[in-house]
Amino acid sequence: MKKRYLARKAYPDIFDAQVFGDESNAAHRRVVAALKNLQEGKLEEVFGTGTAAVISPVGELRYEDDVCKINDGKIGDVTQRLYDTLTGIQWGTKPDDMGWTVPVE
């Protein structure tokens, strides 16, 4: 198993253990905590990441009977900057200071 793949798989588990303890219901508690933070105005942006998604803003969260709009459904400043930086590195219009890209001949 490659180190990079292991890290991607391990981070959510480490986060759950550190923030929520070892209980099996950590994912449920993450959702409830996110909704609570949204309702209290503490959470301004939410985005998802992935190979195909790059960085995609989330416009609202729904869980059970709760529906919370995020940033009025608009992309946030942080999400936009991350998207612009990542796609800029991918397309070669921004420098790759992390050494993520490899020239293909």
Please give the DSSP secondary-structure letter assigned to residue 71.
G
**Looking at the predicted structure, is the pLDDT value of residue 14 above 70?**
no
Per-residue pLDDT at 10: 47
pLDDT above 60: residue 1:
no
Mean pLDDT of 81-94: 90
Q: Which helix (H) or strand (E) holds 9?
A: helix 3-20
Note the pLDDT of residue 54: 83
Backbone angles phi, psi at 13, to 5 degrees: -70, -40
